[in-house]
Amino acid sequence: MSSRGRLILGIVLGSLFVATTSVVAYTAASFHLTGTIAVEVMERDGNHISLKLPAAVVPVVLSLVPDKCLREAAREMQPWWPAARAAIQEIVNLPETTFVEVEGDDEHVRVGIRDGHFFVMVDSEDESIHISFPTGILKSVLKKLEGVNPELQTAHPRTLHSSYHNDPSI
């Protein structure tokens, strides 16, 4: 390949690289997601799994999920959508707290918010599972699901009937 050809190829590949990273960076930045998603599983027999990801990857990962799957999830959640949206908008603004804590002889479960992260911790005799993610992720997922299913933005609560009332045998 001539030096001119190499130059053109270099410019094209460079431009592609800049364009791709810019799109990814813009997508991540547009959701303003900071913090870390952490999943840690510690088994008493010695196995230890630790996964830490920057929250900024969430919008990128969401963009890779087929819209069909997201639409299905959004459709199933529709009756609860207004309540879920209101709850998430309140939760992201709450101060640090532990919403629920269950303490038993052999198990300790905690669910709450700390340092802007939603956490679930389960410590038992056999294993410890700690999961945390920035509360901003909830809003980001909300936005994405509303994006693929605009009906959700104007969804009204739908009356739900329990199986008890629907079951004619009861």
Report the C-alpha gap between 132 and 43 in whole angstroms. 18
Structure tokens at 148: 């693929």
Q: Which stretch binds other proteins (CB under 8 A): 4-12, 83-91, 126-134, 138-146?
A: 83-91
Strands 97-103 and 107-114: antiparallel
CB of 58 to other proteins, least distance (A): 24
76 forms part of the interface with other proteins (CB under 8 A): no
Of residues 140 through 169, those in contact with other proteins by CB under 8 A are 157-162, 165
82 forms part of the interface with other proteins (CB under 8 A): yes
Element (H, E) at 7: helix 3-30
116 forms part of the interface with other proteins (CB under 8 A): no
Report the C-alpha gap between 112 and 130 in whole angstroms. 12
- Identify the three-state secondary structure at position 104: coil
125 forms part of the interface with other proteins (CB under 8 A): no
Sites of contact with other proteins (CB under 8 A):
79, 82-83, 86-87, 89-91, 94-105, 157-162, 165
